[in-house]
Structure 1
Amino acid sequence: MSASTITQSATSSLSRAARELDLRRGEFDLALHLGCVRSVPDEGGGGRRVARAEIDRVRAEDGFPEVLRERVKAVGTTEGAALMGVTTTRFTRLARLGLVVPVKFYLNRYRAVVWLYLAEELRQFAADQQNAPLMTGRTPQGLRDQLDEGLDLRPRNWRGRHLGFLLRQTEDPWAQAAVVASLLDPVEVAEIVKDPHERARLDSLRPERVSRAAPESPAARIAERIATADDPDEIGWLRADLAQSLSEARQDRPVPRPTPTASSAADSASADPPFVVPRSAAAPSPISAQHASRPRHPGPDDRLTTPESPRTQRLLGWLRRRKPDACPPAAL
């Protein structure tokens, strides 16, 4: 039996692993994102799989499967407000201010965005005595003004969380760069990644789209808009991180360039020779080839250095950082 066959027999597909763990596919996807269940790359190039040892480990945990289901339970605004003991209006305000962070979203039949939150996180938020002033009372005027002006940190906070999910799925520098690029508008990516071969590499490694709707459908366009950074500060940090990721990926493994084929080489050899200036018309002191060639000066990307702290932690900390005046200690 070959090594690849042994490896395949020791792992399960994601759908089979979900069944063995008594989870619906949406719950299983959240379990993967949250690290409750660990997956590994499929050596055959078929996506990701779950090792048999990992399935056995999860099934052996105390309280399986109820405890696992509770960890990945996601609720909407109505159920979330009931868990926290607040009105749906207050819950929505807390979410728009970035105090509770959505874990996923979907579009209902009216193409309205429905945000979902981890029930466990909501219960922890409500149980924390430091958050008690946020659960009752009148919203301060400054926060009400921001909400009236349209402040809504739910999409940005979801993007930051989603970015963390995707980065934890791979250690390959090019794949991590593709993750960062997936949150930027293609125009922004093209300004950072000027090499078409590198852009092609990033496109080939781009994560799956968050919506399973038909491409170019209204639902797909709405989901794509949510998954694309639109805050100037967020865009600036993602652009800087993409440039840093590219520098690391180039050092690790440069993108190969296509080599000329035999036919193209023959065409080049059979082409008309270039016009040569007669020696009599040349300058009295022709420049030698040695002096004519000059060393290439390093470009700006060559001067990029690796930061001392982990890039992912720095970026996620920025993306999920709330505005200074969005969460004052005053009661809501």
Structure 2
Amino acid sequence: MSADTITTPHPPLAFTPSRAARELGLKRGELDLAVHLGLIRTVPDEGGGGRRVPRSEIDRLRTGDGVPESLQDRVRVVGTTEGADVMNVSAGRFTRLARLGVVAPVKWYLNRYRAVVWLYLADELKQFAADEKNAPLLNARRMPEGPRGLLDAGLDLRPRNWRGRHRGFLLRLAEDPWESAGAVAAFLDPVQVGEIVPDPYERSHLIRFRPGPPASGAPGSPAALIAERIMTADDPDEISLLRADLAAVLAEARERRPAPRPTAKRAPAPEHRGHVGPSRTEEPSRAEAPGRSEKPGRPDNPERPEEPQPPRGFLGRLRRRTRRATTT
């Protein structure tokens, strides 16, 4: 091979989201929403750096007609005012329809006043308005009595409908039952999760896969508290369904791969130093008999105890002087 040969680097097998957005001519937010809706497939990054878009997926999308315009139309989102224009209704009528759950938000954010702004897919609103079965809800002078009563009672299904869409997104990304369990647990408060998962090791393992809200501020901030409130189910029916789903997914996760537990450390066995002391059946020899002197040249006398050694130091000298004085 010649020394002047130039090797062309192979293109990556998968792109980061930012690079994939540039390859497809999309904004980063448009690509994220397309992934959220299942329009673009992603794979986990082998290096642990999040998810990536495979090159084969980029090639597939490029072969479609009208890319990126067709994708941009499918992920275009609108707020209340623009959504009302798309459906040709007043903003008040649109809000009431959204609270009834007739149209479901796909995103939300907090404005500068910390008010929740719900966003809807324009494409879905067009399809809803084009269906003749929905004409009474769109064109009637007054809402039917049943829906009107629910609205007067404070019904607002926008948070619940958003949670349902976001849960579907998280479950599509899950690679194993523990990730699926974490996706379901993300919408229950810690007390509910603790009741379903009383084992502390399982609960700790589950929390590793429990994602937080998609948009929040610093922990404990007003924005974070609002995001947590939107993320957490508050309707009894919704909570009951989530609890049942979590219990079912956990059963599968335990069967497939039990949660790790700390291994008990075994205490080291005591070092064997031989037999200490005489056995009950053997009489100790004279050399091993307790209380006997081991100094050479000193006869053994079991009737005369060994003289205690005189204490050292000041008290010892004082006692020796006292003895001499007594003997003289």
TM-score if structure 2 supplies the norm length?
0.76
Local SS of the residue matching 1:152:
coil
Match for 2:135 among 118, 126, 132?
132
Larger radius of gyration: 2
Match for 2:35 among 22, 32, 35?
32
After TM superposition, the structure 1 = structure 2 runs for residues 251-270 of structure 1, keeping only pairs within 5 Å, are 251-261=255-265, 265-266=267-268
Q: For residues 220 and 212 of structure 1, what CA distance do their matches in structure 2 show? A: 5
**Counterpart of 1:201?**
205
- Indicate the structure whose relative CO is greater, using CA pairs within 8 Å and at least 6 residues apart: 1
Given that 1:210 and 1:224 are in contact with CA atoms closer than 8 Å, whether structure 2 keeps it comes out as no
1:78 matched to 2:77: no
**Counterpart of 2:54?**
51
After TM superposition, the structure 1 = structure 2 runs for residues 155-174 of structure 1, keeping only pairs within 5 Å, are 155-174=159-178
**CA-CA distance at 1:67 after TM superposition:** 0.7
Q: Which amino acid aligns with 1:204?
A: R
The runs of at least 4 aligned residues of structure 1 exceeding 2 Å deviation read: 6-9
Q: For residues 10 and 231 of structure 2, what CA distance do their matches in structure 1 show? A: 35
Q: Which amino acid aligns with 2:153?
A: E
Deviations 1:123-166 (A, max 9, x none): 00000111111111111223222111110000011111111111
Q: For residues 7 and 235 of structure 1, what CA distance do their matches in structure 2 show? A: 50
1:228 matched to 2:232: yes
Given that 2:205 and 2:260 are in contact with CA atoms closer than 8 Å, whether structure 1 keeps it comes out as no
Of 9-18 and 156-165, deviating more is 9-18
Q: For residues 238 and 161 of structure 1, what CA distance do their matches in structure 2 show? A: 14
**Counterpart of 1:106?**
109
Given that 1:184 and 1:229 are in contact with CA atoms closer than 8 Å, whether structure 2 keeps it comes out as yes
Given that 2:196 and 2:247 are in contact with CA atoms closer than 8 Å, whether structure 1 keeps it comes out as yes
Q: For residues 216 and 154 of structure 1, what CA distance do their matches in structure 2 show? A: 24
**CA-CA distance at 1:74 after TM superposition:** 0.7
Q: For residues 212 and 16 of structure 2, what CA distance do their matches in structure 1 show? A: 17
Of 219-228 and 206-215, deviating more is 206-215
1:219 matched to 2:223: yes
After TM superposition, the structure 1 = structure 2 runs for residues 138-157 of structure 1, keeping only pairs within 5 Å, are 138-157=142-161
Given that 1:84 and 1:126 are in contact with CA atoms closer than 8 Å, whether structure 2 keeps it comes out as yes
Residues 1:208 and 1:46: Cα distance change in structure 2 (over 3 Å) = farther
CA RMSD across the alignment: 1.9
Q: For residues 7 and 112 of structure 1, what CA distance do their matches in structure 2 show? A: 48
**Higher percent of residues as helix:** 1
Residues 1:269 and 1:210: Cα distance change in structure 2 (over 3 Å) = farther
**CA-CA distance at 1:9 after TM superposition:** 2.4
User: Across the two proteins, how many residue pairs are aligned to each other?
Assistant: 262
**CA-CA distance at 1:60 after TM superposition:** 2.0
Q: Which amino acid aligns with 1:187?
A: V
**Counterpart of 1:17?**
20
Q: For residues 192 and 219 of structure 2, what CA distance do their matches in structure 1 show? A: 21
Local SS of the residue matching 2:120:
strand
Please, which runs of 5 or more residues in structure 1 have no aligned partner? 1-5, 271-332
**CA-CA distance at 1:8 after TM superposition:** 9.2
Of 186-195 and 10-19, deviating more is 10-19
1:241 matched to 2:224: no
Given that 1:229 and 1:235 are in contact with CA atoms closer than 8 Å, whether structure 2 keeps it comes out as yes
Please, which runs of 5 or more residues in structure 2 have no aligned partner? 1-8, 272-328
Local SS of the residue matching 1:93:
helix
Match for 1:91 among 76, 91, 94?
94
Q: For residues 147 and 230 of structure 2, what CA distance do their matches in structure 1 show? A: 23
Identity between Structure 1 and Structure 2 (%): 65
**CA-CA distance at 1:269 after TM superposition:** 7.3
Q: Which amino acid aligns with 2:26?
A: L
Q: For residues 270 and 225 of structure 2, what CA distance do their matches in structure 1 show? A: 49
Q: For residues 117 and 165 of structure 2, what CA distance do their matches in structure 1 show? A: 17
1:42 matched to 2:45: yes
Q: Which amino acid aligns with 1:30?
A: L
Q: Which amino acid aligns with 2:50?
A: G
Q: For residues 132 and 201 of structure 1, what CA distance do their matches in structure 2 show? A: 50
Q: For residues 256 and 144 of structure 1, what CA distance do their matches in structure 2 show? A: 52
